[in-house]
Structures are given as structure tokens and as C-alpha cells.
Amino acid sequence: MSRIAFLDFEASSLAKTSYPIEVAWVFPEGGSESFLIRPAPGWTDWAPEAEAVHGLARERLVREGVAHDWVALHMLTTLRDVALYASAPSWDGQWLSRLLRAAGLPRHALRLKATAEAQRRAILDVLAAGGIDPTARDALAGKLLATLRQDARDDPAPEHRALSDARRECGRWARARDRAEAMLRDASAAVQG
């Protein structure tokens, strides 16, 4: 299995001119990083409504944030060979692209996929390792993913801070893998019983 990580951004707003203000990523095997991002020159968009959600004032980003170009280069260096997943890859991908471009890096140097894809892959890998027939694997994975989506509706609301939200996505992936392993154990016990 290739290395994976779960990534999340917080942003100045949801407008077309929004930009990333915080990023974090979490590896399932442990380890994470999180940075407040100092706005690049020309990044002026700001929505008080967004600030009310994430609780990060622009003044704090200017004062405590890490230079946007350093964050972008660090991400590229650290995450180049990592499969990246996010809960909202279209939004997070937009902010990732804006960060990379502002640093003079190729905007597609890193790409994001949906966390649901990582969950599906984890389930299929567990079922394949357990010797489940490929046709049955797809059907079982679909049922398990539907159950996980239903369970997620009962999760507490996201904190809207990058590190906690990235950890949440990593936890959802781990839950998918654990449920698939439990399904295998239950099936094995039924056959032996």
C-alpha cells in the first residue's frame, strides 16, 4: 500500500477570491503537521462570517503565520509521493492550487481525492486480503460505505480547524478499515460456528 495522508484547509471565505489561511495533514500511521499561513501579497479577500466559523483573525495570520511560499514548498517536499485525501477535495483543491501558484509552483504538483475513495480502497484491500471474491468485494464495500455514511451523520459537527478536521477524516478512514476487518472476523466465525 502506498503512503496516504488526510489534508484539510481553512480559508478566508468561500468566495472565488478566497485563499488558504491554515493547512494540516495527518498520516494514519502517526504524525501530522499544521501551519497557519501568512497571506501572500494580493490576498486580500476576507469574510467576517468565515472568521466567526474558524476563529482565526487575519491579524493573527499576519503576525503568527508561516510564509505562504515556505508552506507550499514544504508541502511539495513532504507530500510529493503521498496519496492525499480530503473531505471536500474540490474546495481544498482550489486552495491548494492557489497556494502552489502563489509560491510559483505548478498548481497540479499535488492532487487531492475524496476521503470516500480512501475508505473504499481500505475496505477492498481488507476484503481482498481475507480472500473474498472480487465480485462480492464490490457489493460488500458498497454496503459498508453506505453504513459508514449513515453513521457519519451522527458525528459531531467539524471544528473548522485544519488539524482537527484532518484527524477526523483520518479517523473515518480507520473506521472503514476496522469495520471491514470486523466483517471478515464475523464471516469467519459464522463459517467455523
Average pLDDT, the chain: 92
Distances (CA, A) of 48 to 55, 58, 65: 10, 10, 18
Residues 121 and 96 in one domain: no
Average pLDDT over residues 167-187: 90
Edge-to-edge order in the sheet of strand 66-67? 66-67, 32-38, 20-26, 4-11, 83-86, 112-114
Residues 105 and 160 in one domain: no
Residues 85 and 137 in one domain: no
* CATH assignment at residue 92: 3.30.420.10
Grade residue 1 by pLDDT with cuts at 50, 70 and 90: very low
pLDDT surpasses 60 at 191: no
Residues 90 and 138 in one domain: no
What's the pLDDT score for residue 136?
A: 87
pLDDT surpasses 90 at 157: no
Residues 120 and 109 in one domain: no
What whole-number distance in Å separates Cα of residue 16 and Cα of residue 124? Answer: 37
pLDDT surpasses 50 at 36: yes
Residue type, 134: P
Residues 152 and 131 in one domain: yes
Q: Which helix (H) or strand (E) holds 44?
A: none
pLDDT surpasses 90 at 186: no
pLDDT surpasses 70 at 158: yes
Average pLDDT over residues 44-54: 96
pLDDT digits (tens, 9 = 90+) for 103-123: 999 999 999 999 999 999 999
Grade residue 177 by pLDDT with cuts at 50, 70 and 90: very high
Domain that holds residue 134: 115-192
What's the pLDDT score for residue 188?
A: 61
Per the CB < 8 A criterion, the answer to whether 135 and 122 are in contact is: no
pLDDT digits (tens, 9 = 90+) for 113-149: 999 999 999 999 999 999 888 888 888 899 998 888 8
Residues 97 and 119 in one domain: no
Residues 103 and 139 in one domain: no
Residues 97 and 72 in one domain: yes
Residues 106 and 126 in one domain: no
Residue among 118, 166, 125 at smallest CA distance from 9:
166
Residues 8 and 92 in one domain: yes
